[in-house]
Amino acid sequence: MKIRIKHILILAFLGLGFSHSVLWAQDTSYSPVKIDTPDSVKVNTIFIIGNEKTQKDIILRELDFTTGFYYDWSTFLDIINSDQQKIYNLRLFTSVEITPLLTGTDEVEVLIAVKERWYVVPSVIFQLADRNFSEWWTNQQRDFSRVNYGLRLSHSNVGGRNEKLRFSGQLGFTKALDVQYSKPYIDKKQKHGLAAQLTFFDQKTIPIRSVNNRQVFYFNETEDVLRKNFSAALRYTFRRTFYNFHFFTLGHNRTWINPDVLNENPNYFQHDDNRLNYFWASYSFRHDKRDNVAYATQGELLQVTATKYGLFANEEIGEAEVTLTANKYFKFSEKFHFTTGLTTNWFLSSRQPYTLVRGIGYSPNFIRGYELNVIEGQQLYVHKNSFRWKFIDWAFDISRTMPLEEFSIIPFQFYLSANFDHGYVKDRNNLPENAALTNQYLFGYGLGIDMVGLYDSVFRFEYSLNNTGGANFFFNIKAPF
């Protein structure tokens, strides 16, 4: 762990009296200063700078050390490195740096320097309504009527307490209103949190089935609204340790469809009514130890979720779903890393309402090379792999022309990736119109370039082939896993 002179001088100007640290920094123009590090150290004080909006407790919650205790020196450096990652993964800061400052033979002061992001972000919604860019570009012939547009207002750090508030109003292919609010901690010990969401949308064109492993969309001649959906959910979060999270969610969903939809697909809801109302509940456990939640190069992620649709005997649905995600990220050096991830999903019954249909091709489950397809069924298994080489790592300082400090540094990282994905979808109904890809071993492979930019935005450009002979260029947003 490097001791940075600028941080020492900051503390000195604050009048904190670190005479030893300042003296160590004075001879650096002649030769490196050799400092004998102790076997163990005691943390005296923790200082935080740069958190103009974020409350101190939000940052201290991520620390695995505290004042007044002794730590083995090498272990202490490992703790600091992990804590840096945890604070950065709050996604409140563009940079985080923790520096231990030796002030005695076995004592340290710890300086945490953060640079805050821009938290209030009004933005224009302009996004495709389809599953991915390739679906819109190829299967839907670049139809601009299939674009959603509107306004979104997000506040990612309400009151400096890492609370999230988002309001979206959307027109276009799907008209929608969405309000979300989350409070990570509602108690002094910062272990319990709450979140709520209300969503409404309607559509004039909807998918009603799949044929030849591609979605079939329907709209009537009078352009009536074909589907309306209202959902509400309340989530409780329990975070006992740094990397383990428990989520309990209770929700209600109400869907109405135009009777014309049932004429096209009588099994859309699996009953004769054109309304589907039900309560649902889910439990999810997540172990998340990734170095960067937006684009991980090291660490691990394990998530298990069980969901029950229809909590009462008189409801129109009774279904259970289990999902497992297990990802591992191996970092060989600063430039090379390997990622591998397994996802499985099971429904207990053989048929589901079409609004609950899952499979490969629906986010986040896909095999590269099959982005144009949907392979629907009750059980799926997907194993994704990427070997990546970081060949560009740039950071442009535009502070002279950019008045906002939150956007003064523009980072760019480019990775060349070699990818191989494979999987399987079990369709218990053996629908003949989709038999080409269901109940078959599938795989895809290819090369890609991933770009990670400002605020961890990710853009992926990939050329992939699959085992049926298909090949195409695909563009995606977000990391594949």
pLDDT reading at 32 higher than 60:
no
pLDDT for 171: 85
User: Hey, what CATH topology would domain 120-477 get?
Assistant: Porin (2.40.160)
Q: What is the pTM of this model?
A: 0.85
Contact 427, 437 (CB under 8 A): no
71-80 mean pLDDT: 94
pLDDT for 7: 47
pLDDT for 35: 58
Write down the domain spans for the chain: 5-116, 120-477
pLDDT reading at 133 higher than 80:
no
Bridge partners of 412? Answer: 394
Q: What is the CATH number of domain 5-116?
A: 3.10.20.310
188-201 mean pLDDT: 96
Tokens representing 304 are 């298990």
Q: How confident is the model at residue 34 (pLDDT cuts 50, 70, 90)?
A: low
pLDDT reading at 475 higher than 90:
no
Contact 69, 42 (CB under 8 A): yes
261-269 mean pLDDT: 92
Q: Which candidate, 130, 123, 55, 125, places its Cα nearest to that of 92? A: 55
pLDDT for 19: 33
Helix (H) or strand (E) holding 424: strand 409-426
What are the start-end ranges of the E strands in 55-162?
A: 70-72, 93-102, 107-116, 120-128, 147-158
Q: How confident is the model at residue 126 (pLDDT cuts 50, 70, 90)?
A: confident
Instruction: State the average pLDDT for the chain.
Output: 88
Contact 322, 298 (CB under 8 A): no
Rounded Cα distance, 105 and 107, in Å? 6
133-142 mean pLDDT: 76
Per-residue pLDDT tens digits for 79-99: 999 999 999 999 999 999 999
pLDDT for 33: 52
Per-residue pLDDT tens digits for 267-278: 899 888 999 999
Contact 444, 361 (CB under 8 A): no
pLDDT reading at 255 higher than 80:
yes
User: 255-259 contacts: CB < 8 A, separation 24 or more?
Assistant: 255/227, 255/228, 255/229, 255/355, 256/227, 256/228, 256/229, 257/206, 257/226, 257/227, 257/228, 258/220, 258/224, 258/225, 258/226, 258/227
pLDDT reading at 9 higher than 50:
no
Per-residue pLDDT tens digits for 299-313: 999 999 999 999 998
Q: How confident is the model at residue 477 (pLDDT cuts 50, 70, 90)?
A: confident
Per-residue pLDDT tens digits for 195-245: 999 999 998 889 999 999 999 999 888 888 999 999 999 999 999 999 999
Beta-carbon-side half-sphere exposure of residue 64 (alpha carbons within 13 Å): 17
The DSSP letter of residue 368 is: T
Beta-carbon-side half-sphere exposure of residue 466 (alpha carbons within 13 Å): 21
Pairing of strands 120-128, 147-158: antiparallel
Per-residue pLDDT tens digits for 393-447: 998 888 888 888 878 888 999 999 999 999 999 999 999 999 999 999 999 999 9
pLDDT reading at 30 higher than 80:
no
Per-residue pLDDT tens digits for 282-300: 999 999 999 999 999 999 9
pLDDT for 132: 75
